[in-house]
């Protein structure tokens, strides 16, 4: 068992060490971008984006629910999955399309934040290659993302915003590239993942740095104060010269990874205590608490821009959805609320924006105990700079085989992930001229700013 554990840790920490961005690499490329006349804003204020990816495909139709005259159709179609109307948490969007809405009863904290205008809802957003209608979909004339209802493909499409090509970078990574000149003094990557490897944060010059909710993932056997054989041998190998270019490059990268690990560990030791209470034993809450700690040492890290990646598991609710979703949305609401309160505590609420993403929505029509893979979904944006208290985009006509349905209540998105991402990118500090590089398909859509950010 001990050997298996050691082998696992070696693989894990080796991968983590290889993924660390180094001071030399990041610094040199950022200076090149700056000297070449980057279009990056000259803003000196700190800003952070926090992506919370709901793995599995969230049933947003049971997260945001029609009330009033729309409830009867909802209850009829959803059958045993319908949430009793008496339990719903009503919300009052500033702008109305004539329909009334409520949140799932487990989301009391987010209902409060919506009322405080710190939380916004983006309706029916999903991966698109071009604006698409039901007639174009059914007539097979629409240009569609490949493998529409596949978990892995749709997760990749969401994170890369390049559904029509094999992508090696994500829009979060390309965004970090675009504003890289603002982080030239930082020895650590602008992109920090609390949920392992992901394509979202990979750029041309930006490599995500992976941590755990407990802190830095370091080589389990390497500690220069121990003087153990493994440390002595590794240190000797790192100091040995070589005429082989590959060996030299690998050694330098490995050495810098260790340096960065030690640097960040020491920086975290200086992090002020966070008074805000986070839910206990909730994975997402633990990830977000570490994000808060990393934000608290932004000055120590010389970071002007940071992008964080967190995940919440379990949203593939083909069965037992009522019980599972109740728990998941309760944890989501509590975790997001605690994180927002932590940003208020640190005085950076207006500088940090948290947003959700997910594989896809789910079918409006149930399979009895759950729902199947859908397409368009609703998402949450939270922060002090969010124009909250409102629903942006267009809620679908919630009728199976209606104008927004492919079949079984798979909503055809009326807002693209590109438009969602470009709105966040502009707030983050990217110039409009950067958008074709960050989001190559943005030119196929009419909007680059959906208006939900101040």
Name all domains of the chain by residue range, CATH numbers in brackets.
47-215+273-444 (3.40.720)
Structure tokens at 346: 């640190």
The phi and psi torsions of 400 (rounded to 5 degrees) equal -60, 130
Mean pLDDT of the chain: 90
**Residue 358 and residue 118: Cα distance in Å, rounded?**
21
- Asked whether the beta carbons of 128 and 417 are under 8 A apart, the reply is yes
pLDDT score at 180 = 95
State yes or no: pLDDT of 37 exceeds 90: no
C-alpha angle 21/56/93, rounded to 5°?
95
pLDDT score at 31 = 28
**Residue 74 and residue 351: Cα distance in Å, rounded?**
38
**Residue 224 and residue 59: Cα distance in Å, rounded?**
49
What percent of the residues of the chain are helix, what percent strand, and what percent coil, each to the nearest 5?
40, 15, 45
| C-alpha distances out from residue 269 to 10, 83, 204, 297, Å | 24, 46, 31, 10
Higher pLDDT, 26 or 129: 129
Point out the least confidently predicted range of 88-97, 120-129, 219-228: 219-228
State yes or no: pLDDT of 170 exceeds 90: yes
pTM of the model: 0.90
pLDDT score at 240 = 85
**Residue 190 and residue 202: Cα distance in Å, rounded?**
11
Query: At 165, is the pLDDT very low, low, confident or very high (cuts 50, 70, 90)?
Result: confident
- Asked whether the beta carbons of 311 and 52 are under 8 A apart, the reply is yes
Q: Which residues contact 9 (CB under 8 A, 6 or more apart)?
A: 220
- Asked whether the beta carbons of 7 and 397 are under 8 A apart, the reply is no
pLDDT score at 17 = 39
């Amino acid at each position: 068992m001990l050997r298996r554990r050691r082998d696992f840790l070696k693989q894990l920490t080796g991968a983590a060490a290889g993924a660390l961005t180094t001071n030399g690499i990041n610094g040199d490329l950022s200076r090149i971008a700056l000297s070449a006349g980057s279009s990056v804003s000259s803003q000196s204020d700190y800003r952070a984006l926090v992506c919370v990816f709901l793995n599995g495909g969230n049933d947003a139709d049971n997260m945001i629910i029609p009330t009033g005259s729309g409830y009867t159709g909802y209850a009829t179609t959803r059958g045993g999955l319908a949430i009793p109307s008496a339990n719903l948490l009503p919300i009052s969007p500033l702008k109305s399309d004539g329909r009334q809405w409520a949140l799932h009863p487990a989301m009391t904290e987010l209902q409060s934040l919506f009322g405080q205008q710190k939380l916004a809802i983006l309706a029916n957003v999903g991966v698109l290659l071009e604006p698409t209608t039901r007639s174009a979909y059914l007539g097979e004339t629409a240009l569609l993302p490949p493998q529409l209802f596949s978990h892995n493909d749709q997760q990749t499409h969401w994170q890369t915003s390049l559904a029509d090509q094999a992508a090696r970078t994500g829009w979060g990574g390309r965004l970090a590239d675009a504003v890289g000149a603002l982080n030239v003094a930082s020895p650590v990557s602008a992109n920090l993942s609390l949920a392992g490897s992901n394509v979202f944060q990979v750029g041309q010059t930006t490599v995500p740095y992976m941590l755990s909710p407990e802190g830095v993932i370091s080589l389990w056997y390497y500690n220069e104060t121990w003087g153990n054989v493994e440390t002595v041998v590794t240190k000797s190998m790192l100091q040995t010269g070589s005429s082989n270019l590959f060996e030299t490059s690998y050694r330098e990268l490995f050495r810098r990874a260790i340096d960065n690990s030690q640097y960040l560990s020491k920086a975290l030791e200086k992090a002020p205590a966070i008074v805000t209470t986070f839910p206990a034993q909730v994975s997402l809450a633990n990830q977000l608490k570490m994000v808060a700690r990393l934000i608290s040492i932004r000055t120590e890290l010389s970071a002007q821009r940071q992008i964080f990646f967190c995940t919440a598991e379990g949203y593939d609710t083909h069965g037992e959805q009522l019980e599972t979703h109740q728990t998941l949305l309760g944890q989501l609401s509590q975790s997001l609320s605690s994180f927002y309160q932590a940003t208020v505590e640190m005085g950076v609420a207006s500088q940090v924006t948290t947003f959700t993403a997910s594989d896809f929505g789910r079918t409006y029509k149930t399979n009895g105990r759950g729902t199947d893979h859908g397409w368009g979904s609703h998402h949450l944006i939270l922060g002090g700079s969010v124009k909250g208290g409102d629903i942006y985009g267009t809620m679908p006509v919630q009728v199976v085989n209606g104008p927004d349905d492919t079949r079984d209540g798979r909503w055809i998105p009326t807002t693209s992930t590109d438009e969602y991402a470009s709105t966040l990118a502009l707030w983050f500090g990217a110039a409009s001229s950067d958008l074709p590089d960050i989001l190559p398909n943005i030119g196929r859509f009419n909007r680059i700013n959906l208006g939900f950010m101040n």
